[in-house]
Structure 1
Amino acid sequence: MIIKIKSLNLTNFKSHQELTVNFGERTDILGDNAEGKSTIGESITWTLYGTDALGSKLDPTPVTYDSDETMVSLLLNVDEKDLLLGRSLKKGKTTYYINEVPTKATEFNEILEQLLDKDLFLSLFNPNYFFTLHWEKQRGMILQYVTAPANKEVFKALPETQGNKLADLVKKHSLDDLEKIHRSNKTKLDKQYIAAQSRTKTLKEQLEDYKELVPLESLNVELSQLIKQRNEIEKVTDSAGEINGRINVLNSKIESLTSQIDRGREQHAAIKNQQIEQNCYACGQELTEEAKAEAQKSIDANAKQIASNVNPLIKERKALREELSTLEYVDVSEQLEKARKLQEEINPIEREIEKHSEFKAMKQYVDEAIATEKETLESLNESIFIIDSIKAFHAKEAELQAKKVQDLFENLSINLFKEQKNGDIKPDFEIEMDGKGYKKLSLSESIRAGLELRDVLSQQSNLITPCFVDNAESITKFKEPNGQLITCQVVAGKELEVVSK
């Protein structure tokens, strides 16, 4: 899009009661200080946006004379089509005009928004405007027209191991997600690795307790000999134990049988000695001989029954006593003492042998701990490598993007990123000329910097607008911007003059 200013009509705008300016491809506004040169540029931006050329609020009301209404008409040519815009201010009320027709503010602003972005137009119109914006806005305007390097382009520019690793990983996750995953992994693995190191150290220290073990072979030989001796003694004590145990069993059974026999005999004697009642216990009459005989018969039957129960017990006791008479108690106290002493020798040897098993198990624990520590470290290093690779990616991406931007400029240096103390790359924006930041540039240097920057914006946005250069007398030589050029130059003692070419 090509935008040109054909003419400007001012009525009661600041110091200008009536002024008409016709613009050419180059228009020079000449005059001494306070002749209203800069006001011409301000009237253009006020008409469009109600601001001065730097985007600040502007009160166009004259202060050196009285007026009822301030009025500006601006005739633009947009891609060979004329557009007449106007703005007036009367008693604090603003009226807008499109092609001389009064229009609502919303319609007026919509026309402007359809044509161009406010910040972009003001940056192209006034070379100083861009530098009044916040650095994020400045950065966004520059990068709006510069595509970021593709991932493949950045991967290729990285060291091969980093580039290949990331290229493979991004098939499944984005770089942002990969960074979140592996930063989380790193935090977790840092703790796990410290714990794994601590466990390995503790187990190794415990393993040191087994470094002076008696050789297992000699322990087994000694233990075998002692067990052999103990077993031989146990054969004797086991055999004696069977005999002595049988004697104890027999004595116990005999004692039990004797008690049962004695009780049976007592019962038998008591029944045999029982007297038959002579009289009936119910009526008191003397029993008949027949009844007495029946009673005697019952007593004899009970005595016989008890005897039949006791006699087998007597026979069993006799048999047990006969068996007991064939056995002789064996005294094995001496052998048991020898066995006890042998066991006292065996116990520490078995303990030493057990230590060999413990050593083997402990050695396995140490090997497992070392393997876990190694595996954890490898996983930790893998996450660190990926995090560092992503950091390198962003740095290289920033470098490539910065180069794309830098290639647009001849004399300006553009800083798009800033490296943090931790190595992270953060967005930034700073313009330098000859190693100096914009704020440190002289007036002429700042104008030249602004002209170069606005031309880059113009070329990238494919938008050509008029360029208004105030204080043009401060620069004697500069590359003329594309589009119309409007300059303001101080000429001592000269009244306002507009020269269009």
Structure 2
Amino acid sequence: MQIEFKSLKLQNFKSHQDLTVNFGERTVITGDNAKGKSTIPEAITWLLYGTDTLGSKLDPSPITYEADETMVSLLMDIDGTELLLGRELKKGKAKYYINEVPSKATDFNEMLGQYFNKSMFLSLFNPNYFFTLKWTEQREMILQYVSAPSNKEVFKELPEAQAKKLAELLKKHSLDDLEKIHRTNKNKLDKQYIAAQSRTKTLKEQLENNAPKVPLESLQAELSVLTKQRDEIEKVTDVAGDTNSRINIINSKIESLTIQIERGREQHAKVKNTQIEQNCYACGQELTEEAKAEALKSVDANAKAIARNVNPMIKERKALREELATLEYIDVSEQLEKARKLQEQINPIEQEINKYKHFEAMKEQLEEAQQAEKQILVSLNESIFIIDSIKDFRAKEAELQAKKVQDLFETLSINLFEELKNGEIKATFEIEMDGKGYSKLSLSESIRAGLELREVLSQQSNINVPVFVDNAESITKFKEPTGQLIMARVVAEQELKIVGDK
């Protein structure tokens, strides 16, 4: 889009009561200080946006005289079509005109927005305006014309292992999500790895401190001899124990039977000695002979019943006494003492052998701990590799994007990123000329820098608007921008003079 200024009319605008400026391809405004040179471009930005050329609010009120109203109109040519815009301020109230037709502010602003936004116009019109923006806005304005490097472009610049790993992972997750996943994983595994190392170290120390000192074969040989001797003694004591136990059981049974037999005999004698009553206990009459015979018969039956119970016990006691006569009590106290002493020798040997079992179990635990430590380390290294790959990806992506941006400029250097102490890449934006940041440039250098940047914005946006260069006397040589050029120069003791080349 080609935009040219044809003419500008100012009525009661700051120091100008009535001024008409006819623009040419190159318009030079000269005069001494305070003659209203800078007021001319300010009238244009006030008309369009109500600001000065740096985007700050502007009061257009007359300075050295009084007037009821202020009027600015600008005739422009936009791609061959003329457009006349006007803004009037009367008693604090603004009025807008499009081709002399009164318009609402919203319609006026909407019409401007169809051609360009405020920041773009001011950046193209005033080379100093761009540098008043926040660095984030500057960065955004430049990057909108440079496509970010594709993943494939970045992968080509990365080592094969990193490119292959990220290409696979990016099928499921974004780069930001991958970084969150593996940073979280790394933090978790860092703690697990420290704990695993500590456990492995502890088990190694325990293994060293509990290592058996006597060879297992020697212990087993000695144990075999001692257990054999003990077992031989236990065979004897076991047999003796059975015999002695049988003797004790028989004696106990004989004693129990004797008591029962004596009790039975006493009962039998008592029954035998029972006196038959001669008279009935109920009526007192003398019993008949028949009744007396029945009573004797009953007593005899009771005595025989008792004898039948006692006789088997007598026979059993006799048999037990006969068996007891065949048994002899064996004294094994000496053998038991020998067995006890042998066991005292066996116990420490078995403890030493058990140490071998415990030692083997600890070795297994150590192997498991070492394997767990190794697995954690593998997973940890995997996350570290991915995090580093992402870091390298972003660094290479930044490098490629910076190169694309840098290719737009001839003399300026553009810093889009900075590397932090931890190696991460942080977005930034700084323009340098000859190794110096914009804030450290001289006036002439800052003008040249602004003109080059303005030219890049114009080419990339395909918008060409007139450019205003203030303090042009401070710059002796520069590459003129495309489109109309408006320059203001200080000439001592000279009134305002405007010359527009056709």
TM-score by length of 2: 0.97
1:163 is aligned to 163
Residues 99-498 of structure 1: pairs in structure 2 closer than 5 A: 99-498=99-498
| C-alpha separation in 1, matches of 2:76 and 2:447 | 25
Q: Secondary structure at the match of 1:281?
A: coil
Q: Secondary structure at the match of 1:388?
A: helix
Once the two structures are superposed, what CA deviation does each residue of 1:247-304 show, in whole Å capped at 9, x if it has no partner?
1221122122222222222222232233333443334444333333323322222222
Q: Secondary structure at the match of 2:66?
A: coil
| C-alpha separation in 1, matches of 2:67 and 2:153 | 64
1:5–1:23 CA contact under 8 A, matched in 2: yes
| C-alpha separation in 1, matches of 2:5 and 2:277 | 162
Once the two structures are superposed, what CA deviation does each residue of 1:15-42 show, in whole Å capped at 9, x if it has no partner?
1111111212221112222221111100
Shift of residue 361, structure 1, vs aligned partner: 1.3
Q: Which runs of 5+ in 1 are unaligned?
A: none
Shift of residue 212, structure 1, vs aligned partner: 4.6
Shift of residue 179, structure 1, vs aligned partner: 0.8
| C-alpha separation in 1, matches of 2:274 and 2:106 | 142
Residues 89-104 of structure 1: pairs in structure 2 closer than 5 A: 89-104=89-104
Instruction: Report the more deviating stretch, 17-26 or 268-277.
Output: 268-277
| C-alpha separation in 1, matches of 2:191 and 2:242 | 65
1:70 is aligned to 70
| C-alpha separation in 1, matches of 2:288 and 2:468 | 166
| C-alpha separation in 1, matches of 2:149 and 2:54 | 33
Shift of residue 172, structure 1, vs aligned partner: 2.5
Q: 1:114 to 1:270 in 2, by over 3 A?
A: farther
Shift of residue 431, structure 1, vs aligned partner: 0.9
Shift of residue 152, structure 1, vs aligned partner: 1.5
| C-alpha separation in 1, matches of 2:4 and 2:349 | 108
2:212–2:352 CA contact under 8 A, matched in 1: no
Once the two structures are superposed, what CA deviation does each residue of 1:110-148 show, in whole Å capped at 9, x if it has no partner?
111121111011000000000000011001111111111
Percent identity for Structure 1 against Structure 2: 76
Shift of residue 201, structure 1, vs aligned partner: 0.8
Which letter maps to 1:329?
Y
| C-alpha separation in 2, matches of 1:331 and 1:172 | 86
TM-score by length of 1: 0.97
Instruction: Report the more deviating stretch, 135-144 or 30-39.
Output: 30-39
Which letter maps to 1:432?
E
| C-alpha separation in 1, matches of 2:350 and 2:236 | 24
2:237–2:332 CA contact under 8 A, matched in 1: yes
| C-alpha separation in 2, matches of 1:169 and 1:189 | 20
Shift of residue 413, structure 1, vs aligned partner: 1.1
Q: Secondary structure at the match of 1:417?
A: strand
Q: Secondary structure at the match of 1:492?
A: coil
| C-alpha separation in 1, matches of 2:106 and 2:404 | 39
Which letter maps to 1:186?
K
1:5 is aligned to 5
| C-alpha separation in 2, matches of 1:384 and 1:372 | 18
Once the two structures are superposed, what CA deviation does each residue of 1:168-191 show, in whole Å capped at 9, x if it has no partner?
322222211111111111111111
1:41 is aligned to 41
Once the two structures are superposed, what CA deviation does each residue of 1:375-429 show, in whole Å capped at 9, x if it has no partner?
2222212211211111111111111111111111111111111121222111111
| C-alpha separation in 2, matches of 1:76 and 1:336 | 128
| C-alpha separation in 2, matches of 1:118 and 1:159 | 44
Which letter maps to 1:237?
T
Q: 1:315 to 1:497 in 2, by over 3 A?
A: same
Which letter maps to 2:86?
G
- State the aligned residue count: 501
Q: Which runs of 5+ in 2 are unaligned?
A: none
| C-alpha separation in 2, matches of 1:302 and 1:106 | 139
| C-alpha separation in 1, matches of 2:212 and 2:240 | 43
Which letter maps to 1:310?
V
| C-alpha separation in 2, matches of 1:56 and 1:298 | 146
Q: 1:70 to 1:298 in 2, by over 3 A?
A: same
| C-alpha separation in 2, matches of 1:299 and 1:6 | 163
Which letter maps to 2:168?
D
| C-alpha separation in 2, matches of 1:282 and 1:43 | 158
Which letter maps to 1:414?
I
1:213–1:356 CA contact under 8 A, matched in 2: no
2:15 equivalent to 1:24 = no
Which letter maps to 2:241?
G
Instruction: Report the more deviating stretch, 70-79 or 289-298.
Output: 289-298
Which letter maps to 1:305?
A
